[in-house]
Structure formats: structure tokens, C-alpha cells
């Protein structure tokens, strides 16, 4: 690879890594805050929080890589233009198409990263995250063992623990069951959560049971120990339908009847997701080329290339709008699957056209002396 290509590619890689890190951090922190509120409120540990945020990371990276490639391309091209490096390179005979070679290599590198994500890491992370969510949803212990908070693990149930000792003893327990006409309330000085073959039990010691019947009569009974079946409170459920985005790409193009039944989707929807995975890695290449080619249009001046930057942002927005519209049409009608590829063709075509326009001033400059000599 010639020296200029290596130089431009190294600049793109460094800025791409920086902007990717920044964007991933912003997206990931926002996602982590939401997960933290949900998981900690349900009594989950910090380890579960870290696991869930880590499993959400591949999809976050998939979302930000094309944007990071676009920003890096615009930033590097703008800096080279402001320092007149592009003018010097063009003066040595490099055409805009020739200078775009390093950008194409950079875009293909981003595309390889995107392909690894969309075909391998993201589906695997989605599947594992769905399994863990179903497992945690059925984790009775985690949903009960939260001290200092009134919990509502099921409709009509209120549960409170003042303190949990290091030995696992529950102190000052309050349990209210309003599911039946005869409302029951249990208060105990201490209790233990015990797992048995027929489900978890709450064993309470030194407490009282209060039953308020439909007639408004209150019955109070003291007890030394009392077992309450909390497993009956929880509706243990499976995962439900499987998200087809969890399946590997080959399966999407040839799903079995078992997989169709598990997702409740049609073969057309499977194929749509497969085509979407094929085209997604190309968005990194398109974004990088749009950023570079837009800034190559027009002459360079000391006032910068802000107009070209606005053009690049506008074209990227148009590309994204076309991508969303095409995906929506293909999702509704499986016979229109080819529409998924049209935005990519549009982006590559626009980039080629802008690079062609960038060669226009040089052609005109070559023709002017000939015209002047003939007069």
C-alpha cells in the first residue's frame, strides 16, 4: 500500500476507534441506567446487572459503528483539507477516486466488524439475554429478599422485611394476602426462606396471623412457627415465543417447522431478517464513503468546508430514511425483499457521483488554456 494510503488509513482508524469508544460509552451508560433501575428494584445483585449490560453491548456496538465511521471520515477529510494536504496530494496527480482507495479499505474493515457482530455476536447475546431474563423472572428468592422495601411479587400480595442478617435470617417480616375475600396478614419477628421439593416455603417464627373475613370480623392467632407456601404466589412461566433474531443466519434462510412454531413467524419474515443481516455490514462502507466524497466536492478555502459537511450530514440522513422505508416495505411484503439493498446501492452511487463531480474543476482547468490559445 502506498505511503499516502497508509497515512490516510491510519488517521481514519485512530479517529474511528476514538469516536466508537465515545459513542458506545454514551449509549451503554444510558442503557445501563435503565437496567440498573429495573434489576436493583427487583432485588437482583450487582453481578446480574454487569452480566445484563455486557450482553447488551454487542447490539450497542452494532448501532454506533456506522456513525463512528462517518464521523471519522468527515473529521479526517476536513482536517486534511484545512491543512492543504489534499490539495498537495491532488497536485501530484492523485484523482478523488484514487484518494478514496484508503477510505474504501477503511469501510471494508468496518464492514467486517459489522459482519462479525450481526452474524455471530448479536444473535448469541440476544439468545443468552432472553434466557437469563426468563430465569430471573422466575427467581422467587431474588424477588422476595429485599430488605426495607414493600414488595408486591403478585397481585394482592404485599411483603416487607426490615432486615436480613448475614446468616440469611429475615427479621421483622410482614406479609399481607388480599387475594381472597378473607384477607390474611402475617407478622413475625423472624423467618427463613426454605426450598423444598414442592416449592419454596417461608417459615415464620414468633408471630401472629390476622384474618379479616367478609363480615368484617377479625381473628387473631399467635404462633411459634408457621409455614407459608410462597411458591403458590409466583406464576412460573417459560420464555414464551423465541425472537427470530436469536437464530444464526443460515437458519434464517432455511428454518425448520420447529423454529417457525417457536417464533410464530413465517418463512418470509425469517428471510427478511437474513437479508437485513447481509446488507447491514455495508452501511459502514457507505457511511465512510459519503463522508469522504461529500467533502471532496467543490474547492477548498481558508474558510473551511462547512457546506460540504452539511451536505454529508444531509446525505447520511437521506440514506437512513431510505433504509428505514425500504425495511418497512420489505417487512410488510416478503416479495419486496430486494428493496433492502436499494439504499446501499443509492449510497454507493451517490458517493461515486460526488467523486466524479470532484474531478470537474481539474478538467475545466485543463481546457481553459486551450480555449485561450485559439482566440
pLDDT in tens, 184-226: 899 999 988 887 777 778 889 999 999 888 777 888 889 898 8
* pLDDT class of 32 with cuts at 50, 70, 90: confident
DSSP string for 197-246:
TTEEEEEEEEEEEEEE-TTS-EEEEEEEEEEEE-GGGS------SPPGGG
Contact 331, 273 (CB under 8 A): no
Do 12 and 127 reside in the same domain of the chain?
Answer: yes
Least confident of 98-112, 312-326, 333-347: 333-347
Question: Given 210, 233, 256, which residue is the final one in a domain?
Answer: 233
Cα Dmax for the chain = 117
Which pLDDT score is estimated for 262? Answer: 80
Do residues 76 and 15 lie in contact, with contact meaning Cβ atoms separated by under 8 Å? yes
Cell (9 digits) for 21:
469508544
pLDDT higher than threshold 50 for residue 374 = no
Does 33 fall in a domain? Answer: yes
pTM: 0.71
Residue 81 lies in a domain: yes
Q: Are residues 90 and 183 in the same domain?
A: no
Together in a domain, 129 and 178: no
Instruction: Determine the pLDDT at residue 364.
Output: 45
Q: What is the mean pLDDT of the chain?
A: 82
Range 358-363 average pLDDT: 63
- Closest-CA residue to 330 (of 286, 270, 255, 285): 270
Flag whether pLDDT at 375 surpasses 70. Answer: no
Q: Which of 107-121, 288-302, 337-351 has the lowest mean pLDDT?
A: 288-302
Give the best-scoring range by mean pLDDT among 53-62, 104-113, 151-160: 104-113
Q: Report which listed range, 97-101, 182-186, 253-257, 349-353, is most confident.
A: 349-353
359 has pLDDT over 90: no
Asked if residue 137 has pLDDT above 50, the reply is yes
157 and 263 in a single domain? The answer is: no
Q: Is residue 334 situated within a structural domain?
A: yes
Q: What digits encode the pLDDT tens for the residues 47-100?
A: 777 788 888 889 989 999 999 999 999 999 888 887 777 778 777 777 888 888
Q: What is the pLDDT averaged over residues 243-249?
A: 84
What pLDDT shows up at residue 14? 94
Cell numbers found for residue 257: 417447522
Q: What is the pLDDT of residue 232?
A: 63
272 domain residue, yes or no = yes
Claim to verify: residue 157 and residue 273 sit in the same structural domain: no
Cell of 2: 502506498
Confidence of residue 363 (pLDDT cuts 50, 70, 90): very low
Inside any domain, residue 109: yes
* Selected residue with higher pLDDT from 200 and 178: 178
The verdict on 132 and 152 lying in the same domain is: no
- % of the chain surpassing 70 pLDDT: 86
Lowest mean pLDDT among 3-7, 10-14, 39-43, 130-134: 39-43
Asked if 119 and 267 sit in the same domain, the reply is yes
Q: Which of 233, 262, 284 is the last residue of a domain?
A: 233
pLDDT digits (tens, 9 = 90+) for 266-281: 777 888 888 889 999 9
- Burial of residue 144 (CB within 10 Å: 0-12, 13-18, 19+) is buried
Total structural domains within the chain: 2
In a domain? residue 161: yes
Q: Which helix (H) or strand (E) holds 170?
A: strand 170-177
Residues 314 and 167 in one domain: no
Task: Provide the residue range defining the domain that includes 175.
Answer: 148-233
11 and 113, same structural domain?
yes
Q: How many CB atoms sit inside 10 A of residue 94's CB?
A: 17
304-308, 312-316, 323-327: range with lowest mean pLDDT: 304-308
Which triple of cell numbers denotes residue 227? 409455614
pLDDT tens column, 227-240: 888 766 655 555 56
* More confident call, 43 vs 132: 132
Whether 143 maps to a domain, the answer reads no
Contact (CB, 8 A) for 287 and 66? yes
Within-domain flag for 142: no
How far is the first Cα of the chain from the last one, in angstroms, to the nearest whole number?
45
Amino acid at each position: 500500500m502506498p505511503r499516502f494510503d497508509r497515512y490516510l488509513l491510519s488517521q481514519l482508524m485512530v479517529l474511528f476507534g476514538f469516536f466508537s469508544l465515545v459513542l458506545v460509552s454514551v449509549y451503554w451508560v444510558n442503557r445501563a441506567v435503565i437496567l440498573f433501575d429495573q434489576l436493583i428494584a427487583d432485588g437482583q445483585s450487582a453481578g446480574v446487572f454487569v452480566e445484563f449490560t455486557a450482553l447488551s453491548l454487542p447490539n450497542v456496538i452494532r448501532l454506533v459503528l456506522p456513525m463512528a465511521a462517518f464521523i471519522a471520515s468527515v473529521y479526517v477529510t476536513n482536517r486534511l483539507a484545512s491543512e492543504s494536504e489534499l490539495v498537495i496530494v491532488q497536485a501530484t496527480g492523485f484523482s478523488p477516486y484514487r484518494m478514496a482507495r484508503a477510505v474504501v479499505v477503511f469501510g471494508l474493515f468496518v464492514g467486517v466488524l459489522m459482519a462479525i457482530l450481526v452474524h455471530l455476536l448479536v444473535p448469541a447475546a440476544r439468545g443468552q439475554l432472553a434466557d437469563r431474563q426468563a430465569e430471573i423472572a422466575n427467581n422467587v428468592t431474588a424477588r422476595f429478599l429485599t430488605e426495607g422495601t414493600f414488595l408486591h411479587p403478585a397481585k394482592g400480595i404485599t411483603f416487607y422485611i426490615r432486615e436480613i442478617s448475614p446468616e440469611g435470617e429475615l427479621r421483622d417480616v410482614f406479609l399481607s394476602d388480599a387475594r381472597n375475600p378473607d384477607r390474611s396478614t402475617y407478622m413475625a419477628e423472624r423467618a427463613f426462606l426454605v426450598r423444598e421439593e414442592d416449592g419454596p416455603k417461608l417459615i415464620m417464627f414468633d408471630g401472629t396471623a390476622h384474618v379479616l373475613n367478609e363480615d368484617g370480623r377479625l381473628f387473631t392467632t399467635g404462633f411459634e412457627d408457621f409455614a407459608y407456601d410462597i411458591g403458590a404466589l409466583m406464576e412460573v412461566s417459560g420464555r414464551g415465543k423465541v425472537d427470530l433474531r436469536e437464530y444464526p443466519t443460515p437458519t434464517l434462510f432455511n428454518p425448520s417447522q420447529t423454529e417457525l412454531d417457536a417464533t410464530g413467524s413465517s418463512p418470509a419474515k425469517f428471510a427478511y431478517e437474513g437479508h437485513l443481516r447481509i446488507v447491514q455490514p455495508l452501511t459502514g462502507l457507505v457511511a465512510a464513503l459519503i463522508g469522504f466524497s461529500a467533502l471532496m466536492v467543490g474547492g477548498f478555502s481558508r474558510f473551511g468546508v462547512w457546506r460540504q459537511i452539511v451536505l454529508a450530514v444531509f446525505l447520511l440522513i437521506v440514506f437512513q430514511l431510505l433504509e428505514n422505508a425500504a425495511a418497512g416495505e420489505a417487512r410488510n411484503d416478503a416479495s419486496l425483499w430486494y428493496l433492502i439493498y436499494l439504499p446501499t446501492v443509492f449510497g454507493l452511487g451517490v458517493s461515486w457521483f460526488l467523486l466524479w463531480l470532484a474531478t470537474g474543476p481539474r478538467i475545466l482547468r485543463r481546457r481553459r488554456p486551450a480555449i485561450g490559445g485559439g482566440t
